Structure 1
């Protein structure tokens, strides 16, 4: 039965940035599909709430409250999964991001930090996870990218460059790790998370964003989680090295920061 292909019964996943928003939605969706999860983020209280939601599904969540901006910390999550659950089948590299910055204010140090947080941590965890996944026979990696990995908008140099690197990292890692480990990414459009609420909470700005989106609305974390479930499960078993665009159909950024010409 096709619906059974979306089940994750008996599998174990690591989800970073799982305290809220997309990461939390992914962790809960995976638990609903039958997986146990290692959930990691900076804020323990947020993770405790997500762990409670996982427990309501009948699955287990192991909480790791840590600063995942350090690649070594992210890498340690693979060993945590093995120690707590005896295996690791899925990695979702969701933690990342950086704030907008005008071009002349974007220092080389800022760019380095953006690259490390968005790409370095993802590689560190994926690299550490590969031997554990291979012990179980196979695995799947889902990287959370952005429409800004291909679209050009003022103020997003650091963020967009880092996410573009993560997108191509996805293609390269998929080639390196095939056929036993699949690697895919989701290019996420404007999604109603707490991070976006800073701008989407303004009715005028939200209306402009929605009007610039062909589907005339913003996305939800659950819609991204559903895509992650597809890519992580047997339903996506013939997909690797791909970046799925889940963005309401945008062909250009739907949020302009209004930065002036130099």
Structure 2
């Protein structure tokens, strides 16, 4: 059956930023599809809640509370997976993010910090995981990077974040060539998704309606929308896909949230 191709039974995944939002939904989706997961973020209490959802799906979760803005901490998750489960087949580089900031306040340090958190952490984990991913059987190892619509469209205030996410998208294409044919590397270009980070603005009904009206599919995305795409790219269903950036953004061709920053 075609649905069997979406199974990842007895495979092992690492999901960063897994305490809430897209990371949590992804960890649970992979567990429901048959995988054991290493879940990592700063807040252990959140991770324990996700681990309980993984256990309810009949799979195992290994919790790692760490500051993943440090590339070394991200890279160490590969060893954590091998120690906990003896293998590693799937890496989901979800951790990242950068607050908007006006152009003249976007210092070089701020830009470097955005690059480190969104790109260097993904690279550190992917490099550390590569030996295990090369040994993965079946459809091979898989890496899925979580990028953003702001890496391909224009919007004031997003210079550091958008530049870093654009770099992550192209990193995906380049790494896919380096790691082919045994390891597939893809990314998801995410639009507005209703996570805790967006709830601050989407909780305002006027702003939420404006965002929905500016989106062709007339709604804000859910974490499960992204998790479903991760499962496709990480599973045998996506076995003939590598070096691609899948846009899961409701059809956006421009930001659906303007910050209202004035001309200089």
Give the TM bin, normalised by the shorter chain: over 0.9
Aligned to 2:212: 210
Q: How does 1:42-191 map to 2 (within 5 A)?
A: 42-137=42-137, 138-191=140-193
Two-structure CA RMSD over aligned residues (Å): 0.5
TM-fit CA distance, 1:123: 0.1
- 1:195 maps onto 2:197 in alignment: yes
Residue by residue over 1:146-177, the C-alpha shift from the partner in whole angstroms, topping out at 9 and shown as x without a partner, is 00010000000000000000000000000100
TM-fit CA distance, 1:135: 2.5
TM-fit CA distance, 1:134: 1.5
CA distance, structure 1, for counterparts of residue 56 and residue 12 of structure 2:
17
Q: What SS is found at the alignment partner of 1:195? A: helix
Q: What SS is found at the alignment partner of 1:140? A: strand
Which 4+ stretches in 1 moved above 3 angstroms? none
Structure 1 length as normaliser, TM-score? 0.99
- 1:229 maps onto 2:231 in alignment: yes
User: Where does structure 2 lack aligned partners over 5 or more consecutive residues?
Assistant: none
Q: What SS is found at the alignment partner of 1:208? A: helix
Q: What SS is found at the alignment partner of 2:193? A: coil
TM-fit CA distance, 1:136: 2.7
User: Where does structure 1 lack aligned partners over 5 or more consecutive residues?
Assistant: none
Structure 2 length as normaliser, TM-score? 0.99
Count how many residue pairs are aligned between Structure 1 and Structure 2. Answer: 262
Match of 1:220 among 214, 219, 222: 222
Q: What SS is found at the alignment partner of 2:197? A: coil
CA distance, structure 1, for counterparts of residue 147 and residue 201 of structure 2:
20
